[in-house]
C-alpha cells in the first residue's frame, strides 16, 4: 500500500504546496477508482473513444464541449457514487435498508447522468 502524502494538521502550508497536495490526493483517488471500480474503467474507455469521434464530427466548439462534457459528467457522478459505496461498505458489510438505499440512489444518479449524455449526443447528432 502506498503511503499517502500528508502535512502536519496544525500547520498552514504555502498555498502552492497545498495545491500540489490536493492534486496528488486527486490523482490517487483516480488511481484507486481505476484499480477497484469496473464501471469507472468502462466509462473512461467510452470517453477515450468519444474524444476522437467528437473531434471528427463537423460540429461547433460549443457542441463538441457539450458532447465531451456530458460524458465527463458521467465520470464525475460515477466517482461520487464509488465514494458513497466505499463509505457505506466501510461502515459495515451487513445488509441495512439505509445502506441499500444510499447505494441505489448513487446508482440512480449515474443512470441519470448517462441518460443526459445519451440525450445530448442524440440531439447534437440529429440537428
How many residues appear in the chain? 127
Residue ranges per domain, the chain? 38-126
Q: Which of 37, 43, 63, 78 is catalytic?
A: 78
Inform me whether the pLDDT recorded for 10 exceeds 70: no
Rounded to the nearest integer, the mean pLDDT of the chain is: 92
Higher local confidence (pLDDT), 5 or 49: 49
Band of pLDDT at residue 2, cut at 50, 70 and 90:
low
pTM: 0.85
Instruction: Provide CATH code, domain 38-126.
Output: 1.10.287.3610
Higher local confidence (pLDDT), 13 or 3: 13
State the burial class of residue 113 (Cβ atoms within 10 Å of its Cβ: 0-12, 13-18, 19+): buried
**Which of 93-97, 111-115, 123-127 has the highest mean predicted lDDT (pLDDT)?**
111-115
CB atoms within 10 A of CB 64: 15
**Known catalytic membership, residue 78:** yes
Inform me whether the pLDDT recorded for 18 exceeds 60: yes
Inform me whether the pLDDT recorded for 72 exceeds 70: yes
Amino acid at each position: 500500500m502506498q503511503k499517502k502524502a500528508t502535512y502536519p494538521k496544525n500547520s498552514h502550508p504555502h498555498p502552492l504546496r497545498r495545491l500540489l497536495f490536493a492534486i496528488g490526493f486527486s490523482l490517487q483517488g483516480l488511481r484507486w477508482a481505476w484499480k477497484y471500480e469496473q464501471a469507472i474503467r468502462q466509462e473512461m474507455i467510452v470517453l477515450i473513444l468519444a474524444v476522437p469521434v467528437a473531434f471528427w464530427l463537423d460540429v461547433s466548439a460549443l457542441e463538441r464541449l457539450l458532447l465531451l462534457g456530458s460524458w465527463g459528467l458521467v465520470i464525475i457522478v460515477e466517482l461520487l457514487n464509488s465514494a458513497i459505496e466505499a463509505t457505506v461498505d466501510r461502515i459495515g458489510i451487513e445488509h441495512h435498508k439505509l445502506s441499500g438505499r444510499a447505494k441505489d440512489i448513487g446508482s440512480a444518479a449515474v443512470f441519470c447522468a448517462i441518460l443526459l449524455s445519451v440525450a445530448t449526443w442524440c440531439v447534437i447528432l440529429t440537428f
